[in-house]
Amino acid sequence: MLRALELARRGPAHGPNPRVGCVLLDADGAVLAEGWHAGAGSPHAEAAAVADARARGVAVQHATAVVTLEPCAHTGRTGPCSELLAEAGVRRVVHAVADPNPVAGGGADALRSRGVDVVGGVRAPEGEELLRIWLTSVRRGRPWVTVKTAQSLDGRVAAADGSSRWITSEQARLHAHRLRGEVDAVVVGTGTVLADDPALTARTPEGTPAAHQPLRVVVGERDVPQGARMRGPGGELLHLRTRDLDGALRSLAAREVRHVLVDGGPTLVTALLRAGLVDEVHTYVAPVLLGASGRAALGDLDVPTMADARRLVPHEVHRLGPDLLLVSVPVPPEEGP
């Protein structure tokens, strides 16, 4: 299963489908073939593993399939993997995580009905961690929301005159562009569009456009200027003329958007935090001081006392040139100290 998880990570982080890996074993536990899902429209991991076995001239009758996610029972861009494995002669399937998708789930029962032995929950914590973004999106009916802020040491995102280029270093900005290349959509409010005119593209360290360009989403009722940079080359532009943030996220989920990066500004980020719609916070902190006249990274979170403070759990800390990146996860109110 650890090898299957390793294979799954070869698939793209973005896209509507989960990252899945599959290892086929013979009766003695020796590896017959391997496969992983390379993205929407390509063979699923199970089909890729069976194809790998056939290319090697290896029979998979009576084999065991070790898969990171329960094989699907749905015909979409490809056929159901549960049926493929049963027809190939696989006699045992071991998976880490059950598929919560109401459309594609049910593969374990379909396999059992064909006489295949199915074991679930093997290395489930590792599987859940690998698939946390996709699983959260499917279970909640909205994308995983990552909020990104780039701020000074004293919590400011712009100087008194509104200028913000550049608070953080080139190394931090390159890291942020790599993150853009791993998400399905980048979201900003109309205030950020009018104040900063961002392009919202993903670029490589060489400054060229990345292979994957995220959907560019603007939330708010004001118009996006015709000459805005985000109307230029890059991902598709989607303007959601609403202040209903939960509704906006659910409309993105209907487009199979699984992961969004909220790239500013303070008004939108604050509103999402207040609504409890943030799953992860990426805070880039530069050793720069802008003082009280600078623009604060957040607005009012309705925290009258320390007992009401919004708590987060730090997961990762990275040094990026002179800057630091803190990756943290909000603590749900019922789990707070």
Catalytic sites, residue numbers? 46
Helices 81-88 and 45-56 cross at an angle (nearest 10°) of: 30
Tell me whether strands 92-97 and 64-69 are parallel, antiparallel or unpaired.
parallel
Residues paired with 185 in a beta bridge = 215, 260
Tell me whether strands 185-189 and 31-36 are parallel, antiparallel or unpaired.
unpaired
Which residues, other chains included, contact 227 with Cβ-Cβ below 8 Å and sequence gap of 6+? Answer: none
Cis before 265? omega within 30:
yes
- CA atoms within a 13 Å half-sphere pointing along the CA-CB vector of 62: 5
Q: Which residue has the tokens 């989920």?
A: 253
As to burial, measured by CB atoms within 10 angstroms (0-12 exposed, 13-18 middle, 19+ buried), residue 83 is middle
Pairwise CA distance, residues 96 & 108, whole Å: 12
Closest listed residue to residue 120, CA positions, set 107, 129, 132: 107
- CA atoms within a 13 Å half-sphere pointing along the CA-CB vector of 145: 26
Pairwise CA distance, residues 69 & 80, whole Å: 13
Q: Count CB neighbours of 65 within 10 A.
A: 31
As to burial, measured by CB atoms within 10 angstroms (0-12 exposed, 13-18 middle, 19+ buried), residue 335 is exposed
What is the length of the chain?
A: 337
- The DSSP output letter for 318 is E
